[in-house]
A and B are shown apart, each in its own frame.
Chain A
Amino acid sequence: MSGEESQWLTVLIAVLGGAIRVGTPFLFVSLGECLTEKSGRINLGLEGNLIMGAMAGYGVAWITGSAWLGVLAAGATGVVLGFVHALLCQQPRVNDIAVGIALMILGTGLAFFIGKPLIQPTAPHLPALHLGAWSDNPALRAALEINALFIVGVLLAPAMAWFFRSSRWGLAIRTVGESDDAARAMGLNVNLVRMLATMAGGFLAGVGGAFLSLYYPGGWSEGLSSGQGLMAVALVIFARWDPMRCLYASLLFGGAGALGPSLQAVGVTSGYYLFNAAPYVLTLILMIAASSTKVRSGMPGSLAAR
């Protein structure tokens, strides 16, 4: 293999590995947001869930010595924040976007405050599955070290698509999301459905946070999320509220995030600011593309109505 070929292979492997490693938190948050938005409510606070989940997961894993208990705790934290969001939003004349922003700031601040003593300790990490054991290329082996949470996320996407399409509960969520009146006519409790959808969405976002602190990059620090939760919420919009598209978009995002560092690592040293901005440029391009064609197909009716 010539030197140049191996370099491009490295970039390719890094983008593949990045899609999996960096993409997983995006996947969980975007699936969570997708679930919540399908019920007709936007929860912008998932960035807060992500950070709180990362902190709580790390703390619990450190105290109990079990990383999986940490994941559970992260999810539970997300459920609590989701509950608060839903409870506030079902009060009369409360705007869900404003509540989301408030909860995002609350979650971030609270996590920084409670998380102070967690920066130093080292908690047990989630185990990885060595799917690349067949390869003798160490880079490929590392890229295919896959965390179980990623696989859960990948399976969750089609499961959620099926859930929306074919299950009774999925139908209930979609009905609530399309039209309050129709849902009430069917005898559905609109607020209850939305609350459950927001809590379940919060759970997923919290688990995404546990992936950050307990697997990759691992460790609790205040710069851990740096806006990934917000990006994931944006992902849902150009995934057009389709769980499978959420999966593809998350992988694309993860890969784009890995592009900047890996290009520099192989010696493509020009334009690194540009490549580091790749995920954001991608968001803008996709947003423009998504909004100009087939206007917002798939958008839940009660979101479109405002």
Chain B
Amino acid sequence: MKIPKLEMKQVCAIDQSRRGTLKSLAGLGLGALAGSFGIGNAEAASKVTMGFLYVGPRDDYGYNQAHFEGKSAIAKQSWIKAVDQENVPETIAVQKAMESMINLDGAQVIFPTSFGYFDPHILKIAPKYPEVMFLHCGGLYDAKKHPKNVGSYFGYIDEAVYISGIVAGHTSKTGKLGYIAAIPIPQVLRNINNFTMAARSVNPKITVQVVFTGGWANPVKEAESANSLIDQGVDVLTCHVDSPKVVVETAEKRGVFSCGYHADQSKLAPKGFLTGAEWNWSKIYLDYATMIAKKQKIPNLIRGGFKEGLVKSSPYGKAVSAKAKAHADKVRAQFMKGNFVVYQGPIKDNTGKEVIPKGKGYSQTDIWLESMDWLVEGVVGKTKG
């Protein structure tokens, strides 16, 4: 896949110009207000209308809540009108929902936030509405194949997962960590690999046991997986499912540690919660709104991690040692500088095959990492059922 590496620089540029933009937008808002006395719909026309679609409920303590929080944060701006719809299945229903947001609400930009919305649904609707931007969370944009009004944004949440892995590695006494994951897609595998490599950077003997539940929201299976892993001697659990609530609560009940995901779950496990990887979508949503208001061209691909403010870590829990904090903070500082390379060879997968040779490194922005289909040494699990 040949895609120019543009994302980081563009995000930085946006960041720098933001202050100026906000100032000019304040003026724009006033203008709109004045205009509304003259022409009936002037205010609505000058507002940036954004539509958000979530696959699950808005307050799931997880993935959808993170997006909803991002949407709510920008909806406070007077010059933005944000509409959203929850529980939209990854079927033709999402096409209808997108069309109604465009036709009825006048959305200028649509954020279909679930992985399965992209192909075929966005790809089918986008050509019908060339003036509307369709920005998909996590999808792989390919300039050769996909319409120009389609784009993709995603945060390198695996950076925050790496931080969780360091803390987990320091905290575990049994040397066995557990990862409850939905489906072996590249983003999930990358998180598992980051978590594992981070924990093994603390203690190379650590293993990470993976359980794939086969679905994004299956509370009974998640609880069963958590119990089985704990029975097997795992003493730090983390997960990649839509709502980590069940996993974190089960870990707390059984007296083991947990790392969160998507949103802040520290309230659910006051004793055993260590830290967690969280999204910080409000920033990128505001950046997009700003670009639309200024009629700038929207980049088709945006990626970013700690440095760009797209992800963050949950506050450390009580059980985290000073040593673990110092180690984690040090690595986060390197991520902030943008000079920490997780995938630096030699790296072997868990079948013993060398996937990245010595001397070769893939930096965070490398699109190769987004087609990951292997699990790193130290993970007990398989990518294919």
- Chain A positions within 8 Å of B, measured between CB atoms, are 7, 10, 13-14, 17-18, 21-22, 112, 116, 119-120, 122, 138-139, 142-143, 212, 216-219, 221-224, 226, 228, 257-258, 260-262, 264-267, 269-274, 276
- Asked whether, in the complex, the Cβ of A272 is within 8 Å of the Cβ of B225, the reply is no
Taking Cβ atoms with an 8 Å cutoff, the residues of B that contact A are 56-57, 59-61, 87, 178, 209-214, 217-225, 227-232, 234, 242-243, 245-246, 249-250, 254, 268, 380-382, 385
Partner of B223, one of A139, A216, A228, A271: A216
- Most A C-beta atoms less than 10 A away, residue of B60, B213, B219, B234: B219
Interface of B is mostly: mixed
A-B contact pairs, 14 of them (CB 8 A): A112-B87, A138-B231, A142-B227, A212-B220, A217-B219, A218-B223, A222-B56, A226-B217, A262-B231, A264-B228, A269-B381, A270-B382, A273-B385, A274-B385
Taking a contact as CB atoms under 8 Å apart, the answer to whether A223 and B219 are in contact is yes
Residue of B218, B224, B249 touching A262 (CB-CB under 8 A): B224
Task: List chain A residues, Cβ under 8 A from B213.
Answer: 261, 276
9 closest A-B pairs by CB: A139-B231, A223-B217, A217-B223, A265-B228, A273-B385, A261-B225, A262-B228, A269-B382, A264-B211
Is the Cβ of B245 less than 8 Å from the Cβ of A265?
A: no
Please tell me if the beta carbons of B221 and A261 are within 8 angstroms of each other in the complex.
Answer: yes
- Residues in A with CB closer than 8 Å to B222 are 217
Query: In the complex, what distance in Å separates the CA atom of A18 from the CA atom of B61?
Result: 25
Partner of B254, one of A10, A21, A142, A221: A142
* Closest residue of B by beta carbon distance from A267: B380
B231 touches A10 (CB 8 A): yes
Bound CA span A100–B129, Å: 42
Indicate whether A260 sits within 8 Å of B221 (C-beta atoms), given known contacts A116-B59, A219-B249, A221-B243.
Answer: yes
- Which residues of the partner chain A approach B209 to less than 8 Å between Cβ atoms? 264-265, 267
User: How far is it, in angstroms, between the C-alpha of A14 and the C-alpha of B232 when the chains are bound?
Assistant: 10
Are A265 and B57 neighbours in the complex by a CB distance under 8 Å? Answer: no
Tell me whether A265 and B221 are in contact in the complex, defined as CB-CB below 8 angstroms, given that A119-B57, A218-B246 are known contacts: no
Task: Pick the residue among A10, A223, A272 that contacts B228 (CB under 8 A).
Answer: A10
Contact in complex: B224, A222 (CB < 8 Å): no
Q: Take A224-B219, A226-B220, A262-B228 as given contacts and tell me if A218 and B385 are in contact as well, using a CB distance cutoff of 8 Å.
A: no
Report whether B218 and A14 are in contact in the complex, using a CB–CB cutoff of 8 Å: no
Q: B385 contacts which of A10, A258, A261, A270 (Cβ < 8 Å)?
A: A270
Per the bound structure, the CA–CA distance linking A22 and B61 in Å amounts to 23
The distance in angstroms between the C-alpha atoms of A287 and B61, with both chains bound, is: 39
CB of A130, distance to nearest CB on chain B (Å): 13
Let me know if A14 and B249 touch, CB within 8 A.
no
Task: Given A119-B60, A219-B249, verify A257-B220 contact (CB < 8 Å).
Answer: yes
Q: Which residues of chain B come closer than 8 Å to A267, judged between CB atoms?
A: 209, 380
> Which residues of B lie under 8 Å from residue A122 when comparing CB positions?
268
Q: Secondary structure at chain A's binding surface: helix, strand, loop or mixed?
A: helix
The chain A residue sitting closest to B222, CB to CB, is: A217
Contact (Cβ within 8 A) A13 B231: yes
Residues from chain B with a CB closer than 8 A to the CB of A143 are 231
Contact check, B220 vs A119: say whether CB atoms are below 8 A apart.
no
CA distance A70 to B189 in the complex (A): 40
Given contacts A142-B254, A217-B219, A217-B246, contact A258 B214 (CB under 8 A): no
Query: Are the C-beta atoms of A223 and B218 separated by less than 8 Å?
Result: yes
Determine whether the beta carbon of A264 is less than 8 Å from that of B249: no
Whole-angstrom distance from the CB of B63 to the nearest CB of chain A? 13
Instruction: Please report the C-alpha to C-alpha distance between residue A21 and residue B222 in the assembled complex, in whole angstroms.
Output: 13
Q: Of B60, B225, B243, B246, which contacts A264 at CB under 8 A? A: B225
Cα–Cα, bound, A264→B229 (Å): 9
- Complex-state Cα separation, A42 to B222, whole angstroms: 32
CA A196 – CA B87 in complex, angstroms? 36
* Interface residue from A17, A270, A274 paired with B227 (Cβ < 8 Å): A17
A221 touches B381 (CB 8 A): no
**Contact between A222 and B87, CB atoms less than 8 A apart:** yes
Taking CB atoms, residues of chain A closer than 8 Å to B217 are 221-223, 226
Of all chain B residues, the one with the shortest Cβ separation from A224 is B219
With contacts A120-B61, A218-B249 taken as known, whether A142 is within 8 angstroms of B231 at the C-beta atoms is yes
Are A119 and B249 interface neighbours, CB within 8 A? no
Chain B residue at minimal CB-CB distance from A228: B220
What's the minimum C-beta distance from A188 to chain B, rounded to whole angstroms?
40
Using A267-B209, A267-B380 as known contacts, list a sample of 5 further A-B pairs with CB atoms less than 8 Å apart, ordered by residue number in A: A119-B60, A221-B60, A223-B56, A223-B242, A265-B231
Q: Which residue of B lies closest to A119 (CB)?
A: B59
- B219 contacts A264, C-beta separation under 8 Å: no
A207 to chain B, nearest CB (A): 17
Given contacts A261-B211, A267-B209, A269-B381, contact A226 B218 (CB under 8 A): yes
A249 to B282, CA, bound (A): 49
**Which residues on the B side are within 8 Å of A272 (C-beta)?**
211-212, 214, 382, 385
For A264, list chain B residues within 8 Å (CB): 209-212, 225, 228, 381
Check A271/B60 contact, CB under 8 A, given A217-B219, A223-B219, A265-B209.
no
- In this complex, which of A142, A223, A228 has the most chain B Cβ atoms within 10 angstroms of its Cβ? A223
CA distance A10 to B219 in the complex (A): 21
Nearest B residue to A122 by beta-carbon distance? B268
CB distance from B102 to the nearest CB of A (A): 26
A22 touches B228 (CB 8 A): no
**Given that A217-B246, A274-B385 are known contacts, is A265 also in contact with B59, CB under 8 Å in the complex?**
no
Instruction: A18 to B221: give the CA distance in the assembly, Å.
Output: 10
If A218-B246, A226-B220, A261-B211 touch, does A10 touch B232 (CB 8 Å cutoff)?
Answer: yes
